[in-house]
């Protein structure tokens, strides 16, 4: 009976320690990165700017943007930077279904499904075939990672749903530099992007893959290769230069974004830095805690084993 009692105590001790280790390892890392392409502007970013110009009606003037608002409301636009999947982990083709690339596979906490709509009247950015542009990607919250840049193949038609097979991979950009304030409409990552030879309307697609989380972001930008230099058409007020489009909403605080994303400008940047620091501390602390618990498990096992041996010797 003594031996059985010792064995039971040993089993419980080891199970309890193992449970603590498992609990520590299962603590999720915080996720807060957000962003889409702002040059060329994504569907959500340009529709949001169009919405700001019609604030009194809360209805964009662009027909495609207006249809999206009628389908899913304005909440997705006030969270225009959050076309995300928290569990994508770098997966693309075969994971995000064809026809749902512009909504993160419909796995975002917001309903971006309307932004997959097959239509030719989305706001468009006008570019020159073969040109070298500065691509800008919003850093509403900044995190390390890489950007996979794609462009639709020659002959692609905007009258069909966007599929992975329609895309040519242009390049991978890892941890590019930033400009502007984190948590602001104009803050962004940037890099020089060589454009291939194309003509007519196309889609620039970018997947941002965080290296400190499973969270990924997806961005669809409608572009036209017609000799342009970043002008945008399809917004209220007619054709706008790239600088004019960038200025829309620059002085407007987005108070209608989800509170988890809208900590404000300075406050959001500080929160992001604090979160990054906490993540780094966790990365160091968790192995240390696990190592300490491992020592406890080992010591407990030795102690229980010795007690059991003594019990058997005197039994």
Q: Model confidence over 61-86: pLDDT tens digits?
A: 999 999 999 999 999 999 999 999 99
Rounded alpha-carbon distances, angstroms, from residue 58 to 62, 70, 78: 12, 10, 11
Q: Domain check: are 243 and 306 in the same one?
A: no
Tell whether 42 is covered by a domain.
yes
Tell whether 96 is covered by a domain.
yes
Q: Domain check: are 312 and 165 in the same one?
A: no
Rounding to the nearest 10 degrees, give the CA dihedral for residues 25, 268, 190, 105.
Answer: 60
Tell whether 192 is covered by a domain.
yes
Residue 219 has pLDDT above 50, yes or no: yes
The count of structural domains within the chain is: 2
Q: Domain check: are 90 and 169 in the same one?
A: yes
Q: Domain check: are 272 and 255 in the same one?
A: no
Domain boundary among 260, 275, 298: 260
Tell whether 45 is covered by a domain.
yes
Render pLDDT for 107-161 as a digit per residue (tens, 0 to 9).
999 999 999 999 999 999 999 999 999 999 998 777 899 999 999 999 999 999 9
Q: State mean pLDDT over 17-46.
A: 63
Q: Domain check: are 191 and 50 in the same one?
A: yes
Tell whether 92 is covered by a domain.
yes
CATH of the domain at 118: 2.70.50.50
- C-alpha–C-alpha distance, residues 153 and 160, integer Å: 13
Tokens of 104: 């993160």
pLDDT value of position 287: 42
- Predicted model pTM: 0.74
Domain boundary among 218, 241, 260: 260
Domain boundary among 245, 260, 275: 260
Tell whether 19 is covered by a domain.
no
Q: Domain check: are 159 and 129 in the same one?
A: yes
Q: What are phi and psi of 303, to 5 degrees?
A: -60, -45
Q: Domain check: are 163 and 307 in the same one?
A: no
Residue 298 has pLDDT above 90, yes or no: no
Question: DSSP letters of the chain?
Answer: -HHHHHHHHHHHHHHHHHHHHHHHHTPPPP---B--EEETBPHHHHHHHHHHTTTTTT--SSHHHHHHHHHH-SHHHHTTT--EETT-TT--BTTBPTT-GGGGGGTSSS--GGGG---S-S-EEEE-TT-EEEEEEE-SB---EEEEEEEEPTT--TTS---GGGEEEEEEEES--EES-TTSSS-EEEEEEE--S--EEEEEEEEEEESSSS-EEEEEEEEEESS-SS-EESSTTS-B-HHHHHHTTTT---TTS-TTT-S-HHHHHHHHHHHHHHHHHHHHHHHHHHHHHHHHHHHHHHHHHHHHHHHHHH-
Tell whether 47 is covered by a domain.
yes
Residue 244 has pLDDT above 90, yes or no: yes
Residue 312 belongs to domain spanning = 1-11+26-31+264-315
Q: Domain check: are 119 and 5 in the same one?
A: no
pLDDT value of position 181: 72
Q: Domain check: are 3 and 150 in the same one?
A: no
């Amino acid at each position: 009976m003594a031996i059985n009692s010792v064995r039971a105590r040993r089993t419980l001790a080891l199970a309890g320690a193992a449970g603590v280790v498992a609990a520590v390892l299962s603590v999720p890392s915080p996720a807060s990165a957000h962003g889409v392409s702002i040059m060329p502007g994504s569907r959500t970013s340009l529709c949001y700017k169009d919405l700001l110009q019609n604030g009194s009606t809360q209805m964009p003037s662009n027909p495609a943007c207006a249809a999206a608002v009628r389908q899913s409301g304005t909440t997705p636009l006030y969270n225009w930077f959050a076309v995300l999947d928290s569990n994508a982990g770098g997966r693309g083709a075969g994971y995000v279904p064809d026809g749902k690339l512009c909504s993160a596979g419909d796995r975002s906490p917001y309903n971006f499904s309307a932004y997959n709509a097959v239509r030719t009247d989305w706001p468009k950015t006008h570019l020159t075939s073969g040109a070298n542009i500065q691509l800008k990607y919003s850093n509403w919250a900044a995190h390390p990672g890489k950007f996979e840049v794609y462009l639709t193949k020659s002959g692609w038609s905007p009258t069909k749903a966007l599929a992975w097979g329609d895309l040519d991979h242009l390049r991978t950009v890892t941890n590019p530099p930033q400009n502007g304030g984190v948590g602001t409409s104009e803050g962004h990552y940037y890099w020089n992007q060589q454009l291939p030879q194309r003509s007519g309307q196309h889609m620039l697609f970018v997947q941002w893959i965080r290296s400190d989380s499973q969270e990924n972001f997806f961005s669809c930008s409608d572009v036209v290769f017609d000799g342009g230099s970043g002008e945008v058409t399809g917004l209220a007020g007619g054709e706008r230069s790239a600088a004019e489009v960038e200025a829309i909403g620059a002085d407007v605080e987005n108070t209608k974004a989800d509170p988890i994303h809208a900590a404000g400008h300075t406050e959001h940047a500080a929160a992001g830095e604090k979160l990054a620091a906490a993540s780094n501390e966790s990365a160091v602390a968790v192995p240390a805690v696990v190592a300490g618990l491992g020592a406890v498990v080992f010591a407990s096992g030795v102690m229980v084993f010795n007690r059991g041996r003594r019990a058997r010797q005197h039994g």
